[in-house]
Amino acid sequence: MGKLLIVGTVAFDAIETPFGKTDKILGGAATYIGLAASQFEVDSAIISIVGDDLQQEYLDLLTDRGIDISALEIVKGGKTFFWKGKYHNDLNSRDTLVTELNTLEDFNPVVPENYNDADVVMLGNLHPIVQLGVINQMKKRPKLIILDTMNFWMDNALNDLMEVIKQVDVLTINDEEARQLTGEYSLVKAAQKIFTMGPKYVVIKKGEHGALLFNEDQIFFAPALPLEEVFDPTGAGDTFAGGFSGYLAATNDSSFENMKKAIIHGSNLASFSVEKFGTERMIDLDRKEIRERLHQFKKLTQFDIELQ
């Protein structure tokens, strides 16, 4: 069993989609990553910070799934990171209406001693300085460091972000962000430019259009499962990252061939996450449903063709 260290937000989200609205519910990159990764045989821990306004029942949801939250700092009298977003009718794009960093503003992450030798570090969306702080505290170089980020940090902390990108093995990013980061419209060219920044692997997420995995001379594409109903896409990218990193930590194999499988597991879990508001679907998910949907994935992409 591998050890997975997760860094990211544990948050309050307020979400509006064409199908409804929620008040402050549990969200955050680390939350989604942790819930997805807990579907694999991994020891995982979350490093994050919240205020004491975050209900105990939310923390219990994480510990109930075996996630170590001893490095989740709870600030007395502090306010938890808050994000509010509104989706457009196509559900592929959204506007961020509010980002309140709150306790995250002066967060100094502390890597717990029992995780400073983690096999895989999953740097979820968070200030790049915090992400760097975690890398610098590792006792030995993890086998794999995966970075997820978003346009918010490109707009607000680009130099720091470039420093982290330099140090990671895998960058996961969505298509628009890959274009913003590199100035390239072609995703193939964008990936090539990202290789010059440091990472050996690039995963470009394309929402309902699937995900692409690149290394220097290979490309793999995984579709997203066509779903009858998408209710709330929030956290799909993080759930994908959680499935991807969780599978890689559990299998302890970071070859390109195994990353292909990790992409499928990530896409599979993300397909559940969007079916209900917030983390709701990830909480009642069981392994039988996951296995069944993996079969659907396989059927979706298998075809016989004569090649001469």
3 vs 205, beta carbon nearer ligand AMP? 205
We find the least distance from the C-beta atom of residue 125 to ligand AMP, in angstroms, to be 4
93 vs 218, beta carbon nearer ligand AMP? 93
119 vs 263, beta carbon nearer ligand AMP? 263
Q: How far apart are CA 291 and CA 256, in angstroms?
A: 22
The number of helix segments (H) and strand segments (E) in the chain equals 11, 15
We find the least distance from the C-beta atom of residue 12 to ligand AMP, in angstroms, to be 8
State the residue for tokens 């260290």.
5
Q: How far apart are CA 260 and CA 298, in angstroms?
A: 13
Q: How far apart are CA 272 and CA 274, in angstroms?
A: 6
Burial class (CB in 10 A: 0-12, 13-18, 19+), 6: buried
Interaction site with ligand AMP (CB under 6 A): 9, 11, 13, 27-29, 83, 99, 125-126, 152, 234-238
151 vs 251, beta carbon nearer ligand AMP? 151
44 vs 279, beta carbon nearer ligand AMP? 279
Helices 128-137 and 158-167 sit at what angle, rounded to 10 degrees?
30
We find the least distance from the C-beta atom of residue 255 to ligand AMP, in angstroms, to be 26
| 3-state SS assignment for residue 179 | helix
| 3-state SS assignment for residue 211 | strand
We find the least distance from the C-beta atom of residue 266 to ligand AMP, in angstroms, to be 11
For strands 67-68 and 170-174, give the pairing: unpaired
We find the least distance from the C-beta atom of residue 267 to ligand AMP, in angstroms, to be 13
How far CA 108 is from CA of 47, 131, 152, 265, 300, in Å, comes to 10, 10, 20, 32, 45
We find the least distance from the C-beta atom of residue 52 to ligand AMP, in angstroms, to be 18
What are residue 128's phi and psi, to 5 degrees?
-60, -25
159 vs 196, beta carbon nearer ligand AMP? 159
34 vs 237, beta carbon nearer ligand AMP? 237
Is the CB of residue 251 less than 8 Å from the CB of residue 1?
A: no
We find the least distance from the C-beta atom of residue 249 to ligand AMP, in angstroms, to be 19
Is the CB of residue 274 less than 8 Å from the CB of residue 65?
A: no
